[in-house]
Amino acid sequence: MVEEPTPDDCAANSPEEASAPPRDSVSGVTQPDTILNEKDRQEHQCHSRQEAEPTIPRPPERRWDGYGFWAIVLSALTLLVLVANAYLVVQGHELVRNDQRAWVGILRLQTPGKITEMVKEGLPITVNAVLQNFGKGPALQTGCAISMRIMRKEDEFVATYDQQGSPKAAQEISVPVSAAAVWPGITYATPPASLTPSDQEVAEIRAGTKILYFYGKATYNDAFGKPRWTHFCCRYTPDPPAWLAHSTYNEAK
């Protein structure tokens, strides 16, 4: 007699049951088809962690190439060109100012009478300066200080000026600042300076053992408002009687 299969037997022999993974006899948990070894498990954990963590983009690496070097060189050359152009502009302005400015200088010295009769016993020596604007612009706020001095021939002449630029000597004449403008080509005279030498000094001046100096300083402003000055110095020579420009203290700025 043939026994019919029970439902449990059918379930055991069903395709689903046959293809299902084996179960743990104790826990009843389905076992995986493949048991991962330790190395595969660590790699699996690393991949899972990397997928879970957000990816932070890295900035591109800067590379020092030839294009960057020449760009820096070109920038430096451009800066040098700009600085040179600024310097040339400033120098150009200064050249224009010097070309168009006023230049006040001494034209001549004059005495009340003849120069041959200027140095005499018992008489004062009276001299004044005639100044002229030799420049192209007007001289504004002109002023002047003049003086005379008698020194031995072998002594070196030193024109000493005070803080205001006036000569330091016993016979000093200061001319107040004038508000009138001195235009190019115009001359103007200073007040006279007077010095009375002794009879011995007159003889020494005539003999050439002592020298008579006349010197001073002219001050003014140019048309650009810049203060200017001119130093002048002359010495008297008896043979023939004349005023000569001294080797020093004849300068302008």
Q: Show Cβ contacts of residue 122 under 8 Å, excluding neighbours closer than 6 positions.
A: 199
From the list 77, 110, 140, 70, the residue with the least C-alpha distance to 214 is 110
Q: Is residue 117 part of a domain?
A: yes
Q: Is residue 20 part of a domain?
A: no
Residue 70 has a pLDDT of: 74
**Domain span at 179:** 104-252
Residue 2 has a pLDDT of: 45
Q: Is residue 14 part of a domain?
A: no
Residue 57 has a pLDDT of: 65
Residue 145 has a pLDDT of: 86
Paired with 91 in beta bridges are: none
Residue 82 has a pLDDT of: 82
Alpha helices (H) along 128-227 = 199-207
- Give the CATH number for residue 161: 2.60.40
Query: What are the contacts of 186-189 at 24+ separation with CB within 8 A?
Result: 186/132, 186/133, 187/107, 187/130, 187/131, 187/132, 187/133, 188/130, 188/131, 188/132, 188/142, 189/110, 189/128, 189/129, 189/130, 189/131
Number of structural domains in the chain: 1
Q: Is residue 22 part of a domain?
A: no
pTM (2 d.p.): 0.62
Residue 237 has a pLDDT of: 94
Q: Is residue 158 part of a domain?
A: yes
Residue pair 90/108 in contact (Cβ under 8 Å)? The answer is: no
What tens-digit pLDDT sequence spans the chain (253 residues)? 445 445 454 444 444 444 455 555 544 545 454 445 555 666 656 555 555 555 566 666 555 555 677 778 788 888 888 887 777 666 666 677 778 899 999 999 999 989 999 999 999 999 999 999 999 999 998 988 888 899 999 999 988 776 555 666 555 566 666 668 899 999 999 888 888 999 999 999 999 999 999 999 999 999 888 999 999 999 999 999 999 999 999 999 8
Residue 84 has a pLDDT of: 79
